[in-house]
């Protein structure tokens, strides 16, 4: 019988709602400092989130042709500087306490640790952003909770490509049927399912309209005793919190074969 050995967490949107008040605001501040005259509204950013990776998102925005480029724009070196500055601002916002963990995330991580179930991270964002978020929102020593922190440019292609989940599985040295993935976005779900990993999607305002038909279970969030989640797809309707037993039940339901 399939035994749960690891829970693999996405970061942005899954551990915390980082995009709206974190990355998006930081992108806009970096654009303003460089006097680019660009601004990503909440609605526009929701569309741009289909492009995984901050550098890739800026490249896509420029390629669309709607972004005026200044005369002194030096192409890729400027883009990389802009992205680096965005990440500095993002990490400052984390330090200022602008971003919090989503319900149930810490509870499920602590339960996994107490039962010897490994934890891993598979994110499109950079390793430094992922580690900064974990240290700030969980604790300075918390990166050591994770057997693998797979992030950003460690792989050639970002979500929805399967690369980051393939990398994580190989680093864990586990089979898909021994793991459960927690995601928040359609590209993330597609990436994990392409590796035959079972996926629980936790929605939020930015991703609610996306296509989650490939996710095994869809819930509003992971749930707490005093803040129950609502089941939107797949899981037993009575479920109010995602526990280790629920993750085990998902594996036993044969999710990977679907
Ligand atoms: C979400 C992303 C990231 C962030 C920005 O990643 O697509 O690109 O928006 O991060 P995930 P970077 O949900 O996989 O955690 O600018 O560092 O790419
Ligand atoms: Mg995400």
Q: Quote the mean pLDDT of the chain.
A: 95
pLDDT band at residue 209 under the 50/70/90 scheme: confident
* CA of 149, nearest ligand number: 1
| pLDDT of 257 | 62
| pLDDT of 220 | 97
Q: Is the pLDDT of residue 254 over 90?
A: no
Pocket test for ligand 1, best of 11, 23, 25, 86 (most atoms within 8 A of CB): 23
**Ligand 1 geometric centre to CA of 253 (Å):** 31
- pLDDT per residue as tens digits for the range 83-111: 999 999 999 999 999 899 999 999 999 99
pLDDT, average across residues 185-192 = 96
Cα atoms in the Cβ-side hemisphere of radius 13 Å centred on 74: 6
pLDDT band at residue 258 under the 50/70/90 scheme: low
Q: Please enumerate in sequence order all residues whose Cβ is within 8 A of that of 78, keeping only pairs 6 or more positions apart, or say none.
A: 34
pLDDT, average across residues 53-78 = 92
**Ligand 2 geometric centre to CA of 63 (Å):** 23
pLDDT, average across residues 125-137 = 96
Percentage of residues in the chain having pLDDT higher than 90: 91
- pLDDT per residue as tens digits for the range 11-25: 999 999 999 889 999
CA gap 243, 248 in Å, rounded? 9
Length of the chain: 258
| pLDDT of 214 | 97
**Ligand 1 geometric centre to CA of 125 (Å):** 4
| pLDDT of 67 | 84
| pLDDT of 66 | 81
């Amino acid at each position: 019988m399939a035994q749960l050995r690891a829970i693999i967490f996405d970061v942005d949107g899954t551990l915390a709602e980082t995009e709206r008040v974190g990355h998006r605001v930081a992108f806009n501040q970096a654009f303003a400092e460089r006097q680019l005259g660009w601004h990503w509204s909440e609605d526009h950013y929701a569309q741009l989130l289909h492009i995984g990776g901050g550098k890739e998102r800026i490249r896509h925005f420029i390629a669309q042709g709607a972004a005026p480029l200044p005369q002194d724009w030096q192409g890729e070196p400027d883009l990389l500087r802009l992205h680096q500055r965005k990440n500095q601002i993002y990490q400052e916002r984390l330090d200022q306490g602008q971003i919090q963990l989503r319900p149930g995330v810490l509870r499920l991580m602590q339960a996994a640790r107490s039962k010897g179930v490994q934890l891993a991270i598979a994110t499109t964002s950079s390793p430094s952003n992922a580690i900064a978020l974990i240290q700030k929102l969980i604790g300075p020593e918390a990166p050591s909770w994770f057997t693998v922190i797979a992030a950003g440019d460690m792989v050639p292609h970002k979500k929805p490509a399967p690369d980051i989940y393939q990398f994580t599985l190989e680093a864990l040295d586990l089979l898909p049927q021994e793991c459960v993935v927690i995601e928040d976005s359609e590209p993330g779900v597609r990436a994990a399912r392409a590796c035959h990993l079972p996926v629980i999607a936790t929605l939020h305002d930015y991703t609610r309209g996306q296509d989650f038909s490939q996710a095994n279970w869809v819930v509003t969030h992971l749930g707490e005793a005093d803040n129950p989640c609502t089941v939107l797809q797949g899981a037993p309707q009575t479920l109010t919190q995602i526990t280790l037993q629920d993750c085990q039940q998902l594996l036993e339901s044969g999710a990977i074969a679907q």
